[in-house]
């Protein structure tokens, strides 16, 4: 069974009460148990769970430890005859499933996760497949089929809202009458969430015998859209703006327009964040050519061959939570276009820095920004409001730069994963270089104390 890593980082939060780097978590719930292959309202409980898990690990960059899975009796469906739906296909040795799908188990684990997930983190909640019912948009119930028990919408809402600290929340929900979770007085909407249920509140959701076997239509379409191909390997393109990533709006639009869908997916998005939120939190944009207003929110963002064309409405914003932004070869901002960049609350690029009369790559433009010019913006930046740290991961030399001038003392402390102090310096230096060449590979915590308070960074030594 997989374990959730709390270790030193939870301790750091408790001791220092300062933010560290965001984590991404996914919670997958399959509301049944497969007992045989190729049977409607049975086999999908495993097949669709497997596809969702596979996409998160292989395509969306989630770690096994941070994908929490509830299914059946808490044990993988290992007797399937399809190699396509066995963990051995990808060389995985640990079980996919973490917990059974009893309400008491799920409720307890959501409470535990509520104590771990912080306001810096992102969370995906996916009710992968199940049955649901309602007669109005406020009396929805979801069935746990293998237990013959139903959960009310109020129970579900209370359970998932035990996780109430997060930066972004994405919810995918597949049952009949799933639209209840975005309508009525009881719903899952808030301004930090985008919710996509598989059907309207008064509609059924459906399964279909697809070319390989049975799947819920909604899951087949959404996992194919995110993975870039369907379960039998046929290419599937839901990338409407050709930037190499699928936003929540693109995911909804593709499902809503799909000829494979018998129901009408809904969108809960009161803050209009669906166009700029993604299941993937480390975006690798490639090949886009835009004259429109675009905004991206994720942990980190890189852009290659990304061209922002001339025009008064061409306005692109990259907002990375607290990891990095990389502008790579082929990133161009043409004359008259606007580009804004943020890492956390640091503004690293705005319109005045990106009026490009030469129509050249952005490297020429960024020479007007002294911080990025001095540090070489192609490196990866960790940062708070006051410091830049690069590169991350580090192999030999780690550079720490304060963006504030002055002669006050700064305390720099570096701790290894066990909490042991491995470096300490009290100095007035604003540009500090730390030698990591002979340090062991792994995760390190950097604590910096100056007149503005304490800052915490997490870095990785390759």
Percentage, residues of the chain above pLDDT 90 = 59
Q: Which CATH number is 382-461's, of 3.30.360.10, 3.20.20.80, 2.60.40.10, 2.60.40.3080?
A: 2.60.40.3080
Closest CA to 128 of 205, 210, 216: 216
Closest CA to 198 of 245, 136, 260: 260
> How high is the pLDDT of residue 100?
98
> How high is the pLDDT of residue 10?
37
Which residues have C-beta within 8 Å of that of residue 459, sequence separation ≥ 6?
382, 389, 392, 393, 394, 398, 443, 444, 446
pLDDT, tens digit, 9 for 90 and up, residues 86-112:
999 999 999 999 999 999 999 999 999
> How high is the pLDDT of residue 347?
59
pLDDT band at 300 (very low <50, low <70, confident <90, very high): confident
> How high is the pLDDT of residue 322?
62
Assigned token pair, 107 = 């409720």
CATH number for region 7-276: 3.40.50.1460
pLDDT, tens digit, 9 for 90 and up, residues 263-296:
999 999 988 999 999 999 999 999 999 999 999 9
pLDDT, tens digit, 9 for 90 and up, residues 216-270:
999 999 999 999 999 999 999 999 999 999 999 999 999 999 999 999 999 999 8
Buried b (16+ CB within 10 A) or exposed e, 307-334: bbbeeeebbbbbbbbbbbbbbbeebbbb
pLDDT above 60 for 189: yes
> How high is the pLDDT of residue 34?
98
Residues of the chain with CATH 3.40.50.1460: 7-276
The Cα–Cα gap between 382 and 56 comes to: 24
pLDDT above 60 for 13: no
What value does the mean pLDDT take over residues 120-135?
95
Residues of the chain with CATH 2.60.40.3080: 382-461
> How high is the pLDDT of residue 366?
29
């Amino acid at each position: 069974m997989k374990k959730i890593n709390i270790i030193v980082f939870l301790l750091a939060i408790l001791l220092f009460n300062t933010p560290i780097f965001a984590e991404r978590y996914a919670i997958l719930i399959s509301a049944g148990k497969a007992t045989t292959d190729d049977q409607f309202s049975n086999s999908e409980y495993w097949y669709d769970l497997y596809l969702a898990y596979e996409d998160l690990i292989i395509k969306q960059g989630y770690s096994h430890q941070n994908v929490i899975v509830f299914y059946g009796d808490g044990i993988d469906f290992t007797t399937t005859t399809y190699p396509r739906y066995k963990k051995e296909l990808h060389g995985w040795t640990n079980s996919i499933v973490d917990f059974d799908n009893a309400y008491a188990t799920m409720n307890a684990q959501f409470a535990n996760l509520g104590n771990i997930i912080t306001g810096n983190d992102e969370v995906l909640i996916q009710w992968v497949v199940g049955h649901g019912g309602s007669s109005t948009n406020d009396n929805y119930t979801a069935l746990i089929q293998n237990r013959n028990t139903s959960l009310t919408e109020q129970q579900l809402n209370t359970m998932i809202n035990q996780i109430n600290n997060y930066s972004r929340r994405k919810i995918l929900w597949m049952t009949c009458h799933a639209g209840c979770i975005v309508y009525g007085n009881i719903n899952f909407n808030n301004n930090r969430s985008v919710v996509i249920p598989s059907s309207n509140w008064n509609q059924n959701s459906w399964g279909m015998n697809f070319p390989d076997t049975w799947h819920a239509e909604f899951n087949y379409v959404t996992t194919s859209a995110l993975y870039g191909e369907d379960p039998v390997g046929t290419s599937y393109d839901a990338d409407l703006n050709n930037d190499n990533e699928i936003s929540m709006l693109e995911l909804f639009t593709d499902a809503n327009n799909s000829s494979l869908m018998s129901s009408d997916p809904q969108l809960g998005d009161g803050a209009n964040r669906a166009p700029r939120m993604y299941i993937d939190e480390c975006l690798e944009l490639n090949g886009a050519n835009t004259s429109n207003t675009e905004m991206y929110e994720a942990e980190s963002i890189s852009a290659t061959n990304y061209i922002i064309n001339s025009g008064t409405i061409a306005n692109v914003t990259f907002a990375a939570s607290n990891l990095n932004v990389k502008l790579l070869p082929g990133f161009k901002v043409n004359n008259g276009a606007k580009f804004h960049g943020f890492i956390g609350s640091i503004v690293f690029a705005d319109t005045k820095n990106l009026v490009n009369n030469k129509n050249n790559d952005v490297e020429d433009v960024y020479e007007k920004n002294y911080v990025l010019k001095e540090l070489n913006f192609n490196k990866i930046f960790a940062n708070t409001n006051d410091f830049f740290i690069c590169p991350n991961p580090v192999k030999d030399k780690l550079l720490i730069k304060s963006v504030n001038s002055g002669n006050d003392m700064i305390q720099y402390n570096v701790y290894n994963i066990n909490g042991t102090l491995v470096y300490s310096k009290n100095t007035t230096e604003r540009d500090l270089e730390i030698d990591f060449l002979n340090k062991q590979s792994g995760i390190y915590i950097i604590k910096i104390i100056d007149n503005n308070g304490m800052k915490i960074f997490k870095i990785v030594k390759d």
